[in-house]
Amino acid sequence: MIINILFNIFINNLDDGVECTLSKFAHDTKVGGVADRPEGLAAIQRDLNRLEKWVDRNITKFKKGKCKVLQQGTTPGTSTC
């Protein structure tokens, strides 16, 4: 119980300044957004860069191997992740 509370305090500021949807649950963190326009793609990239800086500052890491991109639709370049 105390470890869960400490973990939540540790990641409390993870979503500061994030534009897209950020889902935090236990050891899973997911960034979601629509990249059907250049602005959406840029917002997702800014958030990923922001999260990477957070990881560096807090001396931790994400398991990038677990990263997946969900594409919807038939238009090339249209995706949701």
Q: Convert the pLDDT of each residue in 13-55 to its tens digit.
A: 788 888 888 887 767 788 888 878 888 889 989 998 998 898 8
The pLDDT-based confidence of 81 (bands split at 50, 70, 90) is: very low
Q: What pLDDT is recorded for position 30? A: 80
Q: What pLDDT is recorded for position 46? A: 92
Q: Identify the residue whose tokens are 């038939």.
A: 74
Tell me the C-alpha distance between 69 and 13, whole Å.
25
DSSP string for 8-77 = HHHTTTTTTT--SEEEEETTEEEEE-B-SSHHHHHHHHHHHHHHHHHHHHTT----GGG---B--SSSTT
Residue 6 phi/psi, 5° resolution? Answer: -65, -40
Domain boundaries, given as residue ranges, for the chain: 18-81
Q: What pLDDT is recorded for position 77? A: 54
